[in-house]
A and B are shown apart, each in its own frame.
Chain A
């Protein structure tokens, strides 16, 4: 099939203009870097009926951030932000672990199920609290969720009694290290939540109403949108996602440390959302973008030790990649790049409208 160079060029331009081009390019570049550093990086093998390999690890280890980021995406789409997700994750882990430890049958599968259910119920309550502060009391989301971000660690400490609680329950541990149909359970949970959210948001009107609240709250109110319910829903959902992430992290280490579980995960999650192209100003959101963003962050975390960057430089390197991706995405930087490419002088435009 001979294709004219024009179409190819147009196709290329369209790919370049796509929202996810740069995040995907960065993800690809990171994978290539890894492949150069470790030629076996892409190798995936099946052992004992389980899939193993670096790529599988990335998805598995990226599961908690992905989960938190999915919830965060919806919150950000309503012009909000949830800083408390790390603390909520810690509380969820603490509740589940303490319940299992205190239970007489601490190794039983049933105990793990009750523990997880209880932890998630607590998360619903925490999400209701955040949603209450934001939608009913009307506190700015960044402040409202800061309350729980700070207090939540304290609550988790109270639950664990300040001790690192270690559990011995195979069912619970399977949340992180188990496999189902050769795939790691943690990854399946995160991808499952992703798919379910995507379907609910796009097949019902939830996505539209979330975006309308985020784009123009006053117009939404006048159009009869129940903004309060919508906002409440997204904060509860974000807390549930955070709680699930906390359970996976706790299951991974068979323990919970109220001080460190989920520490700074809110920042990784917000980064994933932003890299994915959802604006912090609210409005249109992209869950697929968030998925790419979360995978980029997970790959980055994996890359740093793999290419021999000292652990001390870890955060610096991460910051660098994030800045580059965000720069490439910003309309302003794009405009500059575009101008350099075209070299066409543009006249000053007068954008003020007549009032």
Chain B
């Protein structure tokens, strides 16, 4: 807003009030984005905020429903990704889209190989590739096979290829998610060079520190809307996270809060934990972590994406095998859970965040989906008797208000919220002692969301131990009796949920602005 004095270079790309609707979902709601030449522009937002959709709208993957895209002052609408690329907008995705068994040079010049007498001129190709690589300071032999290099180098090659097609806009979608610190530094080096040559770079990343290190400006999205455009140097991590997560419901939360603080007073410490993890960890996913779960208690796990939330739940359930640590369930002998099967036998249940890939059987009926957990633990020789089947199914269809109320429908015909309820029913039917819920309310409508939250509260009241993971801090704070905060794959705090609000949690996560931040290190 305040950049009128010094006449800035005109934006390379200007997206104005762009909207896209998928079915009933407004994926982008009048989103505007300006990219200036010679800047690194971070696109920030939680999952589902609309970052990918925005990129795809710009690069011609999706057609926009309304709004304008102006490139260099000319209104444009790309029909295909190729057209966007032709206009100088290149994208490098998280997964490298190159051919691993071709050489680096071949990959870089794929589709526009230099030819001599109708044949590919290899020497010229290698020379050109070497020149472009050198210009970016990437030290790779162009004649070597691409697949022989680590992912980081492949990514740099992909960038070199993208830039080589005279890209004036380079979009990097989560380029650093599989890189280690040195590799990130190398990538940033290349990005800075490009920026200094006038390229506009869009940088999408979940790593806040990296965003603050490399970016000049950022646009923050939430629920398909732009909630802010900021200069990085004038913004704190705390402000950014507040914008990303949103705090609309804060007043309501406080009310909710007061309600369950009273019940939570029965001190947990005197009781024996239902589940106790000591030093539980796995290389690359979570540092050694201690955690006790008690009956009748909801433990909320807070942390940003990539903080290790999901990893913690998977380790507790044995979905991933831990490298270190011990897990005791109900005081049983110390033993790690090596498979979900073990966990289920010990009365654990786990609702994965990835409903589609890790929960739903689309072609099976709702009833089968619901009963699969129980059936699996009974084994195939002991089918659930028809009467029990119909009683259980109708009981949970009603209790969880699953619609349409026809259990014979294929699961895939249900909405996300109802599918989630069916999955919850699958686990509730197994009568677990410990229920691990990873993002149980993600991507479902507000009605179902409230119902699930209510259910969690009721279950805990009846004595179940619940772990509740959600990207929405309000939700975590509303439901949990105890709060565990994760950051960068480590537990950084654990405390009773008493008088904590969203700001406090954000302060713990970002380490700003100090004061209250007393870290309770759990590991030895």
> Which residues of A line the B interface, CB within 8 A?
203-206, 208-209, 211-212, 215-216, 218-226, 230, 283-284, 350, 352-355
> How many Å from the CB of A348 to the closest CB on chain B?
10
What's the Cα separation between A227 and B242 when bound, in Å?
44
What's the Cα separation between A225 and B22 when bound, in Å?
35
Cβ B361 vs Cβ A354 within 8 A:
no
Q: For the complex, is B188 an interface residue (Cβ under 8 Å from A)?
A: no
Cβ A222 vs Cβ B340 within 8 A:
yes
What's the Cα separation between A219 and B368 when bound, in Å?
13
Inter-chain pairs besides A215-B364, A220-B376, A221-B339, 7 sampled, C-beta below 8 Å: A205-B380, A205-B381, A212-B372, A216-B362, A222-B352, A224-B340, A225-B376
Cβ A354 vs Cβ B364 within 8 A:
no
Q: In the complex, which residues of chain B have a beta carbon less than 8 angstroms from the beta carbon of A225?
A: 372, 376
Cβ A354 vs Cβ B380 within 8 A:
no
Cβ A230 vs Cβ B364 within 8 A:
no
- In the A-B complex, the 4 residue pairs with the smallest Cβ-Cβ separation, listed nearest first, are A224-B344, A224-B376, A206-B380, A225-B376
Mark out the residues of chain B between 355 and 382 whose CB falls within 8 Å of any chain A CB in the assembled complex. Answer: 357-364, 368, 372-373, 375-382
Q: In the complex, which residues of chain A have a beta carbon less than 8 angstroms from the beta carbon of B376?
A: 209, 220, 223-226
What's the Cα separation between A211 and B411 when bound, in Å?
14
Q: In the complex, which residues of chain A have a beta carbon less than 8 angstroms from the beta carbon of B358?
A: 216, 218-219, 222
Choose among B339, B358, B380 the residue with the greatest number of A CB atoms under 10 Å from its CB.
B380
Q: Taking A216-B361, A226-B341 as contacts, is the C-beta distance between A205 and B62 under 8 angstroms?
A: no
Cβ A226 vs Cβ B379 within 8 A:
yes
Q: For the complex, is B48 an interface residue (Cβ under 8 Å from A)?
A: yes
> How many Å from the CB of A54 to the closest CB on chain B?
39
> How many Å from the CB of A339 to the closest CB on chain B?
23
CB closest residue in chain A, given B28 = A354
> How many Å from the CB of B391 to the closest CB on chain A?
17
17 A-B interface contacts by CB (under 8 A):
A204-B383, A205-B375, A205-B379, A205-B381, A216-B358, A216-B361, A219-B361, A220-B376, A222-B319, A222-B340, A222-B352, A223-B340, A230-B380, A350-B22, A354-B25, A354-B27, A354-B53
> How many Å from the CB of B367 to the closest CB on chain A?
10
Q: For the complex, is B384 an interface residue (Cβ under 8 Å from A)?
A: yes
Q: For the complex, is B52 an interface residue (Cβ under 8 Å from A)?
A: yes
Q: In the complex, which residues of chain B have a beta carbon less than 8 angstroms from the beta carbon of A283?
A: 363
Q: In the complex, which residues of chain A have a beta carbon less than 8 angstroms from the beta carbon of B363?
A: 211, 215, 283-284
What's the Cα separation between A355 and B354 when bound, in Å?
11
Mark out the residues of chain B between 288 and 346 whose CB falls within 8 Å of any chain A CB in the assembled complex. Answer: 317, 319, 339-341, 344-345
Q: In the complex, which residues of chain B have a beta carbon less than 8 angstroms from the beta carbon of A204?
A: 380-383
Q: In the complex, which residues of chain A have a beta carbon less than 8 angstroms from the beta carbon of B380?
A: 204-206, 208-209, 230
- The listed residue (B360, B377, B381) touching A216 by CB distance below 8 A is B360
Q: In the complex, which residues of chain B have a beta carbon less than 8 angstroms from the beta carbon of A221?
A: 319, 339-340
**Mask: chain B, 446-472; 1 = CB below 8 Å from A; 0 = not:** 000000000000000000000000000
Q: In the complex, which residues of chain B have a beta carbon less than 8 angstroms from the beta carbon of A212?
A: 361, 364, 368, 372
Choose among B22, B341, B377 the residue with the greatest number of A CB atoms under 10 Å from its CB.
B341
Q: For the complex, is B282 an interface residue (Cβ under 8 Å from A)?
A: no
Q: In the complex, which residues of chain B have a beta carbon less than 8 angstroms from the beta carbon of A230?
A: 380
Cβ A223 vs Cβ B373 within 8 A:
yes
- The listed residue (A218, A223, A284) touching B426 by CB distance below 8 A is A223
> How many Å from the CB of A202 to the closest CB on chain B?
9
> How many Å from the CB of B192 to the closest CB on chain A?
30
Q: In the complex, which residues of chain B have a beta carbon less than 8 angstroms from the beta carbon of A354?
A: 22, 25, 27, 48, 53
Q: How large is the interface on B (under 10, 10 to 19, 20 to 34, 35 or more residues)?
A: 35 or more
Q: For the complex, is B78 an interface residue (Cβ under 8 Å from A)?
A: no
Q: For the complex, is B396 an interface residue (Cβ under 8 Å from A)?
A: no
Cβ B357 vs Cβ A219 within 8 A:
yes
CB closest residue in chain A, given B52 = A355
CB closest residue in chain A, given B378 = A205
Q: In the complex, which residues of chain B have a beta carbon less than 8 angstroms from the beta carbon of A222?
A: 317, 319, 340, 350, 352, 358-359
What's the Cα separation between A225 and B350 when bound, in Å?
14
Cβ B364 vs Cβ A224 within 8 A:
no
Cβ A208 vs Cβ B48 within 8 A:
no
> How many Å from the CB of B278 to the closest CB on chain A?
24
- The listed residue (A203, A206, A208) touching B372 by CB distance below 8 A is A208
- The listed residue (A203, A218, A355) touching B357 by CB distance below 8 A is A218
Cβ B373 vs Cβ A224 within 8 A:
yes
Cβ A203 vs Cβ B383 within 8 A:
yes
What's the Cα separation between A230 and B25 when bound, in Å?
40
Cβ B383 vs Cβ A205 within 8 A:
yes
Cβ B359 vs Cβ A219 within 8 A:
yes
Q: In the complex, which residues of chain B have a beta carbon less than 8 angstroms from the beta carbon of A205?
A: 375, 378-384
- The listed residue (A203, A208, A211, A352) touching B22 by CB distance below 8 A is A352
Mark out the residues of chain B between 422 and 441 whose CB falls within 8 Å of any chain A CB in the assembled complex. Answer: 426
Cβ A223 vs Cβ B372 within 8 A:
yes
> How many Å from the CB of B178 to the closest CB on chain A?
19
**Mask: chain B, 47-59; 1 = CB below 8 Å from A; 0 = not:** 1100011000000
What's the Cα separation between A276 and B340 when bound, in Å?
35
> How many Å from the CB of A298 to the closest CB on chain B?
30
> How many Å from the CB of B383 to the closest CB on chain A?
4
Cβ A216 vs Cβ B357 within 8 A:
yes
> How many Å from the CB of A296 to the closest CB on chain B?
25
Q: In the complex, which residues of chain A have a beta carbon less than 8 angstroms from the beta carbon of B339?
A: 221
Choose among A205, A216, A230, A355 the residue with the greatest number of B CB atoms under 10 Å from its CB.
A205
Cβ A355 vs Cβ B368 within 8 A:
no
**Mask: chain B, 398-432; 1 = CB below 8 Å from A; 0 = not:** 00000000000000000000000000001000000
Q: In the complex, which residues of chain B have a beta carbon less than 8 angstroms from the beta carbon of A215?
A: 361-364
> How many Å from the CB of A321 to the closest CB on chain B?
28
CB closest residue in chain A, given B56 = A352
Cβ B27 vs Cβ A208 within 8 A:
no
Q: In the complex, which residues of chain B have a beta carbon less than 8 angstroms from the beta carbon of A216?
A: 357-358, 360-362
Q: In the complex, which residues of chain A have a beta carbon less than 8 angstroms from the beta carbon of B48?
A: 354-355
Mark out the residues of chain B between 197 and 255 whose CB falls within 8 Å of any chain A CB in the assembled complex. Answer: none
Q: In the complex, which residues of chain A have a beta carbon less than 8 angstroms from the beta carbon of B350?
A: 222
Q: In the complex, which residues of chain A have a beta carbon less than 8 angstroms from the beta carbon of B379?
A: 205, 226
> How many Å from the CB of B205 to the closest CB on chain A?
17
What's the Cα separation between A38 and B253 when bound, in Å?
83
CB closest residue in chain B, given A230 = B380
What's the Cα separation between A355 and B47 when bound, in Å?
8
Q: In the complex, which residues of chain B have a beta carbon less than 8 angstroms from the beta carbon of A203?
A: 383
CB closest residue in chain B, given A279 = B363
> How many Å from the CB of B497 to the closest CB on chain A?
28
Q: Taking A226-B379, A350-B22 as contacts, is the C-beta distance between A208 and B364 under 8 angstroms?
A: yes
> How many Å from the CB of B418 to the closest CB on chain A?
16
Q: In the complex, which residues of chain A have a beta carbon less than 8 angstroms from the beta carbon of B375?
A: 205, 208-209
